[in-house]
Amino acid sequence: MAMSLTTPDSIRSLQRKLYCKAKAEPAFRFYLLYDKIYREDILAHAYALARANGGAPGVDGMTFAMIEAAGLEEWLAEIRKDLVAKAYRPAPVRRVMIPKPGGGERPLGIPTIRDRVVQTATKLVLEPIFEADLDPAAYGYRPKRSGTEAIKAVHALLCRGYTDVVDADLAKYFDTIPHQDLMRSVAQRIVDRHGLRLIKLWLRAPVEERDADGKPHMTGGKRSRKGTPQGGVVSPLLANIYMNRFLKHWRRTGRGEAYRAHVISYADDFVILSHGYADEALAWTRMVVTKLGLALNETKTVVRDARHERFDFLGYSFGPHHYRKDGHWYLGASPSKKSVQRLKVKVSDILVPGNMGAWPEVRNQLNRMLRGWSAYFCYGTRLPAYRAVDNHVYERVRRFLVRRHKVPSHGTSLFPREAVFGALGVFHLRRVHLGPLPRALQ
């Protein structure tokens, strides 16, 4: 079922009015927002956005296909009826554990599609108000902002001499945000009690977990006093609202001038780039973070001199880079070794012997992943990373095809690089982003 993801003019007009009012009057508190959340156009657009994001079903097992087969308009009308009657209650959140790139697991909450739609509708109404308040140093989960902009900002500051770096890491940020203080931050702008009640319901929705035998049991619920479930549609917005307390306090107390420093933040991930005062900036940060009811991950939070050592932020590695042609050093940004390694693992996972899909399907799946990765890692010094990825992709594709076609050799003559990245149609990072090799090197 095709649905437009372009924001309808009626919704865009509402969002613009809310943003302009919030921007013009920083102390204004909004009421009468709840009736906007259950507007038919907003619920319909919220469903279109939720469907485009896909995702697994929640505890009720309901899928998008099932909803549409039974009648989408009736399903949305039922949600609207519950919201109008103030009878809406969220279902428990299904929790699954997903592997972390560095090892270990992190919890992901999966609300039902019904709850995702109501959360999306709420976000459509509330986000413009809080967007007007968010600090310019915050780049994560914001309209018209991206990780790439944050990366460019960090690199630009390094090149301007802000090379004493606090590479900060908040311990389990999403799981530790205190509900009472978070709601206080939300209530500085929102006084619509029905809208506030929705947020409280989501923060305290019970979580369904399964034990080793697969039996479900509930945690959280009304006893919960902290944490915003990762996976919830409103969670990134709530996380930004709370992190903004730290950024506003930094600005209000003149820390930038005192420490000759700038903060660049992406949700719970942030760095402080200073001109000689990184230790002082870290001590202040530790104190403020504690007051906010949060904690730094002390094993991952470090001070670095970026002129002599690298640090990683948002998948990039910043610091001294070596220019191979003439041997000089420069302050650069490049895809981190971890980012390259993660991609290699994903490539290998697609090209496993057990993948029995037709070659065009396998290739298209591989190409989608490579295009997505290269669209993000398109800044800074890329050639060494692209070369490493291309080499790995070629080796894995060749082995995959050799096994599939039972070729009694390594397959280098049957499947040379020119064929893999040419007739066989595999995406070639170096050629697409950096152009073909100079004729002398071909």
Tens digits of residue pLDDT in 158-206: 999 999 999 998 999 998 999 999 999 999 999 999 999 999 999 998 8
Query: Does residue 412 sit within a domain?
Result: yes
Q: Which of 253, 267, 380, 269 is nearest to 316 (CA)?
A: 380
Give the integer Cα–Cα distance in Å for 23 and 436: 48
User: What was the pLDDT predicted at 407?
Assistant: 77
Backbone angles phi, psi at 178, to 5 degrees: -70, 125
User: What was the pLDDT predicted at 436?
Assistant: 63
- Quick check: 93 and 231 in contact, CB under 8 A? yes
Query: Does residue 60 sit within a domain?
Result: no
User: What was the pLDDT predicted at 218?
Assistant: 61
- Residue 423 belongs to domain spanning: 336-434
- Quick check: 78 and 67 in contact, CB under 8 A? no
- Quick check: 100 and 169 in contact, CB under 8 A? no
Give the integer Cα–Cα distance in Å for 396 and 136: 43
Query: Does residue 99 sit within a domain?
Result: no
Query: Does residue 364 sit within a domain?
Result: yes
User: What was the pLDDT predicted at 326?
Assistant: 80
Q: E-strand spans in 79-143? A: 93-99, 105-110
User: Which residue bears the tokens 């041997």?
Assistant: 327
Q: Which two tokens stand for residue 167?
A: 């590479």
Task: Count how many domains the chain has.
Answer: 1
Give the integer Cα–Cα distance in Å for 88 and 224: 20
User: What was the pLDDT predicted at 434?
Assistant: 65
User: What was the pLDDT predicted at 269?
Assistant: 92
User: pTM for this one?
Assistant: 0.90
Query: Does residue 117 sit within a domain?
Result: no
Query: Does residue 358 sit within a domain?
Result: yes
Q: Which two tokens stand for residue 132?
A: 């007007």
In our burial notation (b when 16+ CB lie closer than 10 A, e otherwise), range 159-171 reads eeebbbbbbbbbb
Give the integer Cα–Cα distance in Å for 294 and 84: 37
How many degrees, rounded to 5, is the angle at CA 209 between CA 205 and CA 215?
A: 130
Query: Does residue 226 sit within a domain?
Result: no
User: What was the pLDDT predicted at 77?
Assistant: 97
Which stretches of the chain drop beneath a pLDDT of 50?
A: 1-2, 440-442
User: What was the pLDDT predicted at 103?
Assistant: 63
Query: Does residue 38 sit within a domain?
Result: no
Count Cβ atoms within 10 A of the Cβ of residue 302 and give its class: 0-12 exposed, 13-18 middle, 19 or more buried: middle
Rg (CA), the chain: 25
- Quick check: 302 and 310 in contact, CB under 8 A? no
- Quick check: 58 and 94 in contact, CB under 8 A? yes
- Quick check: 96 and 131 in contact, CB under 8 A? no
In our burial notation (b when 16+ CB lie closer than 10 A, e otherwise), range 98-123 reads eeeeeeeeebbbbbbbbbbbbbbbbb
User: Which residue bears the tokens 């902009």?
Assistant: 149
- Quick check: 319 and 305 in contact, CB under 8 A? no
User: What was the pLDDT predicted at 2?
Assistant: 45
Q: Using N-to-C axis directions, what is the helix angle for 235-252 and 179-187, rounded to 10°? A: 80
